Amino acid sequence: MDTLKTKEQFNELINQGKVIFVFSADWCPDCRVIEPFYPEIIKAFPEYTFMMVDRDEFIDVCQAHDVFGIPSFIAFDNGKEIGRFVSKDRKTKEEIIQFIQGLSA
């Protein structure tokens, strides 16, 4: 999974097809727990571009999109937000998969 480099990149990606932003931070233990599952999840959903967003580096992006807990996920399809899995709670692999499957429902 690529890591977001600039706020401009974030704004461009929102409008380029289906993208899921994964908000995380190096110090977040709940984020580290689910990290090993990302390759499998990414492979299962090839129609999406996945982009890691460092919460500390892009706090303004987090605030603009009401992301106050990590790990969190926000999905866009050609500029329109189609779903969010945002909470302060630890997420499981199964919950993440259910969230993504629900995006196309």
Q: How confident is the model at residue 86 (pLDDT cuts 50, 70, 90)?
A: confident
Q: How many folded domains does the chain comprise? A: 1
Q: Which amino acid is at 78?
A: N
Task: Kindly state the helix (H) or strand (E) to which residue 89 belongs, with its residue range.
Answer: none
* Strand, coil or helix: 54: strand
Whether 31 is catalytic is yes
What is the residue range of 71's domain?
A: 2-103
Q: Which of 28, 62, 70, 100 is catalytic?
A: 28
User: Rounded CA gap, 37 and 94, in Å?
Assistant: 10
Q: Are 36 and 8 in contact (CB under 8 A)?
A: no
> CATH no. for residue 79?
3.40.30.10
* Strand, coil or helix: 93: helix
Q: Which of 4, 14, 31, 103 is catalytic?
A: 31
Q: How confident is the model at residue 87 (pLDDT cuts 50, 70, 90)?
A: confident
- Under DSSP, the state recorded for 67 is -
**Does residue 95 register a pLDDT over 80?**
yes
User: Rounded CA gap, 84 and 67, in Å?
Assistant: 10
Q: How do residues 63-72 score in pLDDT, each as one tens digit? A: 999 998 899 9
